Structure 1
Amino acid sequence: MRYIVLIVLLLQLDPCFSKVPVIVHSKQASGATLLAVKELQRYIYVRTGELPRVSNADADNSIWVGTIDAVTIKDQRINQQLKGDAYQLLSVSDRKLIIVGGSEIATLYGAYKFLESTGIGFALDDDIIPDTRINQVQLSGFNKTYAPAFALRGIQPFHDFPEGPDWWNEDDYKAIIGQLPKMGMNFIGFHTYPSVGIFRGWYKPEPVVWIGTKEQFDPATGRVNNAYPILHANTNDSTWDYYPKKTSAFNFGAAQLFETDNYGADYMKGVSNWPHTPEENINIFNKVGAVLNGAFSLAKELGVKTCVGTETALTIPNEVKRTLPKASQDSIRQALYEGMFSRIKATYPLDYYWFWTPEDWTWSGERPGETDFVKKDLLSAVAAAKAVKAPFTLATCGWVLGPSRNRAEFDQLLPKEMPFSVINRQQGYMPVEPAFATVTQRPRWEITWMEDDPALICPQFWAGRTRKDAQDAFKYGCTGLMGIHWRTRNISPNFMALAKAGWEANTYDKEVPADKRDYPVGDLYDEWTTLQFGKDAAKIASAIFQRFDGAAPVSPEVTDYTANFPRATIWGIKGPGLIIANKMPWDSVVKGYDFISEFEKCGKLVHAPSQVANYQYWLHTFYYARAISKVGCLLGEMDTIAKLLPGKKELGDSLLVLRDSTAGVWEEMMTELLQTVSTTGEMGMIANIEQHNMQRMQYLTRYDSLIAAARGGVPPLVLSKEYKGPARVVVTTKRTMLNAGESLDFRVRVLSGKAVKEVKLYWKELGGKVYSSDVVEREGANVYRVHVGEKKTDFEYYIKVEIVGGESLRYPEVGNRTVVVW
């Protein structure tokens, strides 16, 4: 018996006995190759429950990982021409696979592509991992080389609203950047609104790029000693028509999600009212610089190119103007660009700095002499970059490629190493800029719209349009494909389309009719719905999503856009996502949501807990969208009655009833939204509804004075502060990789109709047996700050929340979150 036990133990140590392969790499492997090894080990463990062994020695049941110049395995099918981002997956035998890349980053792409074959999906907000485990990792049947259609492939999160990166902390940037290589993407870029501009005070300047001279910062650290008022969206300031409102005053339970009354990114919390103190503005710039240093340093390790920039011609803040000597405009601008570029050089790593053509050029064209002024500004920047030996490449972007007289005009002005890029006009409703075809011998980047800001609080589905833009961009010879966006999870089909198009656009050979704007996406939604809901529900769900993806083309002068998915909001007076006061009867409008009853039937076909959670997310997203439209119809009724109101008590009574009915549907709308909150994007949508639609527009109380005049008084509107949905655990920051020496830090937010008793963290080494636990401290409201501390090895964890009365919640619902340390 002892011999039998010994034999069994020895067999278990033999890789041939194990159901998981050995991960093999050369002793010289480094950087992203070693991350690829760790990722293979982690995800195979998650899928099988068994932690693979890592070795430098060849083995029978194995996955070899490395670059083409490190391959020692002999097989004539290995593609010796691999270079750059290209990689190959090749089954050398039924029990041996090689993942080989033209570079270390390409090897990492190859690892993630292989992991998709195990049933894993990768999205911008998080991984999509099935609950059920597999019994064996399939290594046979692979023989394909992958090469990208575009050299640069990525995202352009747009700063200005809380729905977007304004509410990202360093860990949020790192979480998003960490997902990019999983999706085969390698670019992230940001725009910075300047001090003043066409909106004449609609917005306030932003802190991603600092404007000043070389004398106004420390060249050793990049820390500035002079600044002007700046902000990213926070609930204490007014910008883009989001009026100030304490989060504790948010309604229907939403206040539980915000740990401070003045909520925003951590560097904006506790800041005084606009324009802040000089010390506060300096501090904001320095904190943002530190955030970007951490985020962009990670990007560099992951092969993700980074980009920031400002609009041209450069707007000089008044506080900066007062510090400048008297000199010519050209010399002043060059001195400022030298200061800006030098400060970036000292503060964070950067690959590109882009100059955005003025926003009003797309709406009203150029003012007399403006084009020449912009040209001088660009040449001043080119000279400045040369003078300070800027370690990054200059580029252009904007709402148009160039002036209306010749969109490609700057091609003859600027150095050919400068990439030209542009976002599609009319919030993406117009096709790719055709002038790309006339720009020669320089990189060209197409930036398609993942969503638009008029419908920023509504679902938007633009996968087909994204593919069509990719097809056109490839035909025009573009070398980059990016997507502009604010939110993440609720536009995930669009990101799948973007990521795939970065590698596949050269194969898009279907002709799209002239009266269509969207490339076919049936295969994409089949895959996406299978990942989200499982194969049983995918057939029905895919057909539903395909129906409301995209929109009909529009002419350039049209601004009242529609889409196949109902659009219940529009651009407001000065801000996004304004609920439309709809004069159409609700009985007619609600028919646009008939698809929900079809989607409800899918629920019986969704089985695994994580897929049920995904299904519930989209089901409540659709309920929320329908409630927005119903609120809009009630607002339209209120507007109609208000016009007939003066001096008529019976109309005042009707308007009061409508006000209270609208408030009831508003509560339904918010309760549905709260059941979808899982990223900072949905938290920003809450802020939009509370600060823009309710606080600024006074949608629920705008006619109280008329009601009071007609009735001799009006009872105050009292909105519930209670959350009436099911208890939920919300974690918006989902990092899956840490650098050695980093701590895992994130916040746990709890929505509950009852008080929270305790929040506890449980963690162990990856594949370990024994958990350690810590009580998580409350930060404010129903928000708890998790600090895991520095870990030297990969680990896994879960969170347990105890509610008064006995209810217990777990995050994640099934299994553990896993993190690699490299």
Structure 2
Amino acid sequence: MRYFLPLTLLILCGSVSADDAGSFVFLDDGDNTGVLYTYASTEIQDYFAKMFTTKLVTEVPEGTAPDVVIRLGTPDSNTAIADAVAAGQLVLPEGALSDQGYTLKNLENQLFIAAPAPQGVLYGTYAFLEAYGAYFQISGERLPAPLPFTLKTLDLTEKPAVKFRGLLPWDAYICGIAGYNPEDYRQLIDRAARLKLNFLQFHFYPGSAFFTETIDGTTAEPRYLGMPVDIFPTANAVGKAAFGDVIAFGAQCYIDHAGSPAAQAHAVQDMMRDALAHAKNRGMHTAVGMELMQPSVGSPLFTAKPEGSVNCLDPLRPENLALSRQRYLSLKETYPDADFYCFWQSEGQGVRGAAVGQEEGAAAMREAQAHWTSQDNYRGDIDYAWLLKQLCDSMTPEEQATSVAGGWFLQHLFPGIHPDFPAGIRFSSINNYSMEQSLDGGLDYYAVAAENRAVWVTDWWEYSGEQWFPQWRAGGQERIYRQCLDYGIEALSLVGWKLSGIEHNIRFMADFAWHPGLTAEQFYRDYVSRLYGQDSAPLADLYMTADAKSELTPPATSSDDRPMSLGEGWIVLGIPPFPDTAEGLSTEEWRHTAERAAAIAAEQQTFLQSDRDAVALIGQIIPGLDSQGQYWAALLLNRLRMRLHYLESMIALNESYGIYQAAALQGIPAARAATALRLNDAVALAGEAIEIYSKEIRNRNDLGVVAQMNVQYLQPLVQLHASLSD
């Protein structure tokens, strides 16, 4: 097997061309049967028509001869490929994962796109198209200007380094799949397949229309599809023009059945089953998952933890095991064609439920299983693991082979539970979204993959969905991926919501999973060259500079002490209130808020200048790019311009606290009046940020971002401003 960097292939122009009038290329796709094989042939034909002026035919007209023959298929489906392999002229991938591999090679006037199996034929098709100038993205593609087809010298044999490579598009938020229609799922899947990804995961929160479990004949009623809004009225929205004549944005099948939650759930689940079937038709493996410790229906028996702790299913009660078994079977019945079923531990439950419950046997169970984790503040995950172990023990070997233990930073359990869990159970975890924490010992837990445990690693294609984007993560991810691959993980996925402004993160994972020698710097330079064009080299430096700053980017999480700094995008912007009494001004909480707000505003000024420099650089480069380079650079420029206004609005918000503090010396009414002026700037800049973003809509997710920012960013600022005049 020979590994080549995907963007630096040895490609030399040969002498065989098809540029004369009446010349043509013949596609010999052999015994074209089966969904994948047929799709590969269709993709070649469709893209050939877009990329070349030469005609491609699947039947040679009588009395003519093609200038070039493209041989597509496997030895079993194409006799010409079988003959070339038998003659030693063609060597196909061998060994583990060779069924996904392919060989591209030209012999005289023939170009072979050959593979041991249909999946490899499809991936070889995309490798061929990229060798001729196409470049695929999760939110689109760049194609070369059409020219006559010229046969190039290719000699490339590849197979992936990771068995499953894919995406976990997170549910429940309208900037993610909660706003999708069937065509959006199909588009996402098709684009992922062109990146040679073969894995699609879905997670379902309790109460979501995506999964309404049935227990003892009673089906849960869905409470929502997206949070905090699943149907967004566009009438008075900022950025309304982006929605066209759409009155309400959201999943259309959910909107169509408004008023009937059961019908909404049926329609949404039908759509999801269609999406899973489409993924199968693109050669993907699929997984669906539910929250194990938070049932939506039935008669659950919960723990009795001390006040301030989060309770969960009591893992010691046999009734809860029976309930969990029914929930598992309900998930399988809802999505019978999924390949895997995941049992998720809710995010944060290991910490918030770390206290030992007061129920009988809880202390003894915790003590007996203390070896399951070395993380004292995550001991609540032991409750989850104990119930899951019982559930897994109750399964048949066939059921265990499709079952997955999963959760947020759940890998801390893996070394401890590995000896105690059935061998067939897969372990899966989402890394901490801080790469620094992942790299500081957070990956060592995956070493059980080297002990014959199938392990899935999920990182982030964006930083927890926050509005701080574009985002660059390849530098840290290179180290994360390399260490995980060294352990021999089975799957590598990315979780996220938005799809534009972060395409490079997904593309890097897709490339690295095939070429584990790839570095972030190599990737960025090739990415910029392929996407923007030859005159875009300075953008590679911009990408690498931004990547180096990724860990310095101001975070905004529910546990951060800076809720006023930036918004997470999937929750309403957290903003501390202004005190309405003199006593409130003297509290420790208020003094901390005013002090930190000033420091954060200063931090944000630094990032603001950095983004201004980036915007200026892109503005200088764009005129020299070709039309497609300008198209993609316009997207980057738009997102950075949006971020400038977003940062300026947050600076205005943070400065408002200092203004309030200073003006309060003249009394609360004076503080309100003075602060309202600066807050008015924050509101105006927020509206401008959303309007700017809405000018570059590339996919359904982008419309969801406009909706999300209206509800979770602009509206809280408007309400805060209004509160000063109450």
TM more than 0.5: yes
- Say whether 1:635 aligns with 2:632: no
- Of 606, 615, 622, the match for 1:603: 622
Q: 1:789 matched to which residue of 2? A: none
- Report if the CA contact (8 A) 1:533-1:614 is conserved: yes
Q: Which amino acid aligns with 1:33?
A: Y
1:423 to 1:383, Cα distance in 2 relative to 1, 3 A: same
- Of 472, 483, 487, the match for 2:483: 472
Secondary structure class of the residue paired with 1:105: helix
Distance (whole Å) between structure 1 residues aligned to residue 419 and residue 695 of structure 2: 53
- Report if the CA contact (8 A) 1:289-1:348 is conserved: no
Q: Which amino acid aligns with 1:635?
A: L
1:428 offset after TM fit, Å?
4.0
1:267 offset after TM fit, Å?
3.1
- Report if the CA contact (8 A) 2:90-2:105 is conserved: yes
- Of 95, 109, 115, the match for 2:129: 115
- Say whether 1:700 aligns with 2:692: no
1:481 to 1:588, Cα distance in 2 relative to 1, 3 A: closer
Secondary structure class of the residue paired with 2:424: coil
Distance (whole Å) between structure 1 residues aligned to residue 549 and residue 617 of structure 2: 21
1:332 offset after TM fit, Å?
5.2
Number of equivalent positions: 631
Distance (whole Å) between structure 2 residues aligned to residue 584 and residue 422 of structure 1: 36
1:56 offset after TM fit, Å?
8.8
Q: 2:294 matched to which residue of 1? A: 315
Distance (whole Å) between structure 1 residues aligned to residue 241 and residue 431 of structure 2: 35
Pick which of 118-127 and 358-367 moved more.
358-367
- Say whether 1:281 aligns with 2:261: yes
1:348 offset after TM fit, Å?
4.4
Q: Which amino acid aligns with 2:31?
A: K
CA deviation string 1:770-790 (max 9, x = no partner): xxxxxxxxxxxxxxxxxxxxx
Q: 2:308 matched to which residue of 1? A: none
Q: 2:50 matched to which residue of 1? A: 46
- Of 660, 670, 694, the match for 1:674: 694
- Say whether 1:534 aligns with 2:533: yes
- Report if the CA contact (8 A) 1:307-1:351 is conserved: yes
Pick which of 112-121 and 648-657 moved more.
648-657
- Of 494, 497, 502, the match for 2:505: 494
Secondary structure class of the residue paired with 1:79: coil
- Of 161, 164, 177, the match for 2:176: 164
Distance (whole Å) between structure 2 residues aligned to residue 558 and residue 692 of structure 1: 13
Gaps of 5+ in 2: 1-17, 302-315, 357-361, 363-379, 577-595
Distance (whole Å) between structure 2 residues aligned to residue 482 and residue 303 of structure 1: 16
1:343 to 1:359, Cα distance in 2 relative to 1, 3 A: closer
Q: 2:359 matched to which residue of 1? A: none
- Report if the CA contact (8 A) 2:165-2:197 is conserved: yes
Q: Which amino acid aligns with 2:429?
A: V
1:400 to 1:584, Cα distance in 2 relative to 1, 3 A: closer
Q: 2:111 matched to which residue of 1? A: 97
- Report if the CA contact (8 A) 2:557-2:568 is conserved: no
1:612 offset after TM fit, Å?
2.0
Q: 2:495 matched to which residue of 1? A: 484
- Say whether 1:355 aligns with 2:346: no
- Of 267, 280, 304, the match for 2:284: 304
Distance (whole Å) between structure 2 residues aligned to residue 523 and residue 573 of structure 1: 33
Q: Superposition pairs for residues 327-366 of structure 1, below 5 Å?
A: 329-330=317-318, 333-334=321-322, 336-338=324-326, 340-341=328-329, 344-345=332-333, 347-361=335-349, 363-364=351-352, 366=354
- Of 148, 160, 179, the match for 1:135: 148
Secondary structure class of the residue paired with 2:31: coil
- Of 386, 397, 412, the match for 2:396: 386
Q: 2:377 matched to which residue of 1? A: none
Distance (whole Å) between structure 1 residues aligned to residue 659 and residue 512 of structure 2: 50
Distance (whole Å) between structure 1 residues aligned to residue 402 and residue 639 of structure 2: 41
- Report if the CA contact (8 A) 1:570-1:578 is conserved: no
Distance (whole Å) between structure 1 residues aligned to residue 325 and residue 264 of structure 2: 20
Distance (whole Å) between structure 1 residues aligned to residue 573 and residue 89 of structure 2: 54
1:145 offset after TM fit, Å?
0.9
- Report if the CA contact (8 A) 1:19-1:135 is conserved: no
- Report if the CA contact (8 A) 2:414-2:448 is conserved: no
Q: 2:254 matched to which residue of 1? A: 268
Distance (whole Å) between structure 1 residues aligned to residue 66 and residue 45 of structure 2: 15
TM-score, normalised via structure 2 length: 0.78
Q: 1:27 matched to which residue of 2? A: 31
Distance (whole Å) between structure 2 residues aligned to residue 284 and residue 444 of structure 1: 35
- Say whether 1:623 aligns with 2:611: no
Secondary structure class of the residue paired with 1:540: helix
- Say whether 1:437 aligns with 2:447: yes
- Of 258, 269, 275, the match for 1:295: 275
Distance (whole Å) between structure 2 residues aligned to residue 61 and residue 503 of structure 1: 29
- Report if the CA contact (8 A) 2:100-2:160 is conserved: yes
Pick which of 356-365 and 140-149 moved more.
356-365
1:252 to 1:596, Cα distance in 2 relative to 1, 3 A: same
1:401 to 1:44, Cα distance in 2 relative to 1, 3 A: same
Q: Which amino acid aligns with 2:104?
A: L
Distance (whole Å) between structure 1 residues aligned to residue 382 and residue 547 of structure 2: 42
1:189 to 1:677, Cα distance in 2 relative to 1, 3 A: same
1:364 offset after TM fit, Å?
4.9
Distance (whole Å) between structure 2 residues aligned to residue 55 and residue 99 of structure 1: 18
Q: 1:202 matched to which residue of 2? A: none
CA deviation string 1:378-400 (max 9, x = no partner): 2454366539x759711122113
1:89 offset after TM fit, Å?
0.7
* Greater helix fraction, Structure 1 or Structure 2: 2
1:311 to 1:626, Cα distance in 2 relative to 1, 3 A: same
- Report if the CA contact (8 A) 1:338-1:384 is conserved: no
CA deviation string 1:511-550 (max 9, x = no partner): xxxxxxxxx42222222223332212x2122221121014
1:26 offset after TM fit, Å?
1.6
Q: 1:251 matched to which residue of 2? A: 238
Secondary structure class of the residue paired with 1:73: helix
Pick which of 177-186 and 545-554 moved more.
545-554
- Of 178, 186, 191, the match for 1:174: 186
1:705 to 1:170, Cα distance in 2 relative to 1, 3 A: closer
1:461 to 1:183, Cα distance in 2 relative to 1, 3 A: same
- Report if the CA contact (8 A) 1:124-1:488 is conserved: yes
Q: 1:190 matched to which residue of 2? A: 202
Distance (whole Å) between structure 1 residues aligned to residue 214 and residue 102 of structure 2: 44
Secondary structure class of the residue paired with 1:114: helix
1:577 to 1:22, Cα distance in 2 relative to 1, 3 A: farther
Q: Which amino acid aligns with 1:269?
A: I
Distance (whole Å) between structure 2 residues aligned to residue 137 and residue 659 of structure 1: 61
RMSD: 3.6
Percent identity between matched residues is: 18
Distance (whole Å) between structure 2 residues aligned to residue 380 and residue 88 of structure 1: 46
Gaps of 5+ in 1: 1-13, 195-204, 217-224, 238-243, 323-327, 509-519, 709-822
Distance (whole Å) between structure 2 residues aligned to residue 527 and residue 249 of structure 1: 43
Q: 1:523 matched to which residue of 2? A: 522
Distance (whole Å) between structure 1 residues aligned to residue 603 and residue 513 of structure 2: 43
Distance (whole Å) between structure 2 residues aligned to residue 496 and residue 572 of structure 1: 22
Distance (whole Å) between structure 2 residues aligned to residue 526 and residue 163 of structure 1: 30
Q: Which amino acid aligns with 1:488?
A: L
Distance (whole Å) between structure 2 residues aligned to residue 435 and residue 85 of structure 1: 28
Secondary structure class of the residue paired with 1:584: helix
Q: 1:377 matched to which residue of 2? A: 387
Distance (whole Å) between structure 2 residues aligned to residue 412 and residue 209 of structure 1: 32
Secondary structure class of the residue paired with 1:122: strand
1:692 to 1:86, Cα distance in 2 relative to 1, 3 A: same
1:351 offset after TM fit, Å?
0.4
Secondary structure class of the residue paired with 1:504: coil
Q: Which amino acid aligns with 1:208?
A: F
Distance (whole Å) between structure 1 residues aligned to residue 473 and residue 507 of structure 2: 11
Distance (whole Å) between structure 2 residues aligned to residue 663 and residue 158 of structure 1: 29
Q: 2:708 matched to which residue of 1? A: 688
Q: 1:583 matched to which residue of 2? A: 601
- Report if the CA contact (8 A) 1:526-1:542 is conserved: yes
Q: 1:220 matched to which residue of 2? A: none
